[in-house]
Amino acid sequence: MIIQTAPDMPLRPLPIIVIGAGGIVNDAHLPAYAIAGFPVAGIYDIDTAKARQTAERFAIPRVFESIEELLPFLPGGAVIDLAVPGSAIAAILRQLPAHTAVLIQKPMGNDYEEAQTILALCREKQLTGAVNFQLRYAPWINAARHLIAQGAIGELLDIEVNVNVYTPWHLWTFLYGLPRVEILYHSIHYIDLIRSFFGNPGSVHAKTVKHPAMNDLASVRTDIIMDYEGYRRASIHTNHGHRFGLRRQQSYLWLEGTQGAIKITMGVLMDYPKGTPDAFEYISLEGDNAGQWQSIDIPGSWFPHAFIGSMAQLQRAAEGSIPAPNNSVEDSIHTMACVEAAYRSSEKGGEKIL
């Protein structure tokens, strides 16, 4: 069986102008665009020296000194990759001309209120807005979707994400002192991924807590149940404080259906940032027999390859190949609503014991 792992690509990608030259741009966005062959026309950052360093590293032909300098290229002459902190997104969107195509780095603002402001701006200015929830485009997620579409595991019933690792949060110093960390900056990916398979849940149950060894961070451990009607079940378990070596660390996505199951090991999260190998395994019933587990080598990983898919969606919408990106702001607002519900649930607490 031939399994599709690559995203659908644009026919004629427009040049990309990147706003922001931070770590995620250097480690994921620009390497992904180089792999995909997406042209990058220019870059801007409030720290011009940082922008110049990034431009030199990736052979970007132009460094803009201000946002005003890049506006003549918009709309239609380029798409924007907006990779700035959530609190800065709305102010930059206000400066962009109507009908611009823009990929917004996740999260879609720091909370649901900011997400609503971003959505309103995109509607008001008729921006083709997408959000970089890129996990839904990872090569092994593409492979899983292809297998499910072929009926290999029957009707999808269960989605489980289990992450028990040690995450070096000190690599992202901006997170220290923020009121929200784990769900907003990490588990948000899994919430969005589950939505991409199952749609919007009826409700969300969650608890997110701190760790004594990471006391300067708001929370680093989370349990989430996304509640769906009928037979569907979805859960997320994350612990970023497992400091006891690699042997018992785990990071996997489990998809189980009526006729089989898929297990994806997300190695990038273990021994971060070095990572360990990914793994993709699946099993299908053979008549009344359980069948055999099969392993498939999937080229590419979450970082940087998944970032190709999120930009490809924006590019395809910008060229008219699709009416809207499937990671549009109109879709992503529902991920932000689930995040907000998770925090409300965590603060409210569970039912008291009688």
Omega prior to 212 cis, within 30 of 0: no
pLDDT of 337 reads 98
What average pLDDT does this structure show over 164-172? 93
Summarize pLDDT for 100-143 with one digit per residue, the tens.
Answer: 999 999 999 999 999 999 999 999 999 999 999 999 999 999 99
Report how far residue 168's alpha carbon sits from residue 166's, in angstroms, rounded to the nearest whole number: 7
Residue 212 backbone phi and psi in degrees, to 5: -60, -25
Find out whether 252 and 263 touch, Cβ atoms under 8 Å.
yes
Q: What percent of the chain shows pLDDT beyond 90?
A: 93
Report how far residue 171's alpha carbon sits from residue 337's, in angstroms, rounded to the nearest whole number: 28
pLDDT at 46 over 80: yes
Report how far residue 350's alpha carbon sits from residue 354's, in angstroms, rounded to the nearest whole number: 12
CATH code at 16-133+306-323: 3.40.50.720
Q: What percent of the chain shows pLDDT beyond 70?
A: 100
Locate tokens 């020296």: which residue? Answer: 49
pLDDT of 289 reads 84
Model confidence band, residue 2 (pLDDT cutoffs 50, 70, 90): confident
Structure token digits, residue 152: 């290999």
Report how far residue 109's alpha carbon sits from residue 94's, in angstroms, rounded to the nearest whole number: 14
Summarize pLDDT for 227-276 with one digit per residue, the tens.
Answer: 999 999 999 999 999 999 999 999 999 999 999 999 999 999 999 989 99
Q: Are strands 294-295 and 16-19 parallel, antiparallel or unpaired?
A: unpaired
- Per-domain residue ranges for the chain? 16-133+306-323, 136-295
Report how far residue 140's alpha carbon sits from residue 90's, in angstroms, rounded to the nearest whole number: 33
What average pLDDT does this structure show over 67-88? 95
Q: Tell me if the domain spanning 136-295 has CATH number 3.30.360.10.
A: yes
> Are domains 16-133+306-323 and 136-295 of this chain identical in fold?
no
Q: Are strands 233-239 and 40-44 parallel, antiparallel or unpaired?
A: unpaired
What average pLDDT does this structure show over 19-26? 96
Please spell the DSSP secondary structure of 166-225, one letter per residue. B--GGG-GGGTT-S--HIIIIIHHHHHHHHHHH---SEEEEEEE--GGGTTSS--EEEEE
Residues near 22 by Cβ (< 8 Å), separated by ≥ 6?
A: 45, 50, 83
As a whole number of Å, the end-to-end CA separation of the chain is: 55
Locate tokens 């359980």: which residue? Answer: 290
Find out whether 285 and 152 touch, Cβ atoms under 8 Å.
no
Provide the mean pLDDT of the chain. Answer: 96
pLDDT of 1 reads 65
pLDDT at 288 over 90: no
Is the pTM of the predicted complex or chain greater than 0.85?
yes
Structure token digits, residue 224: 């989430």
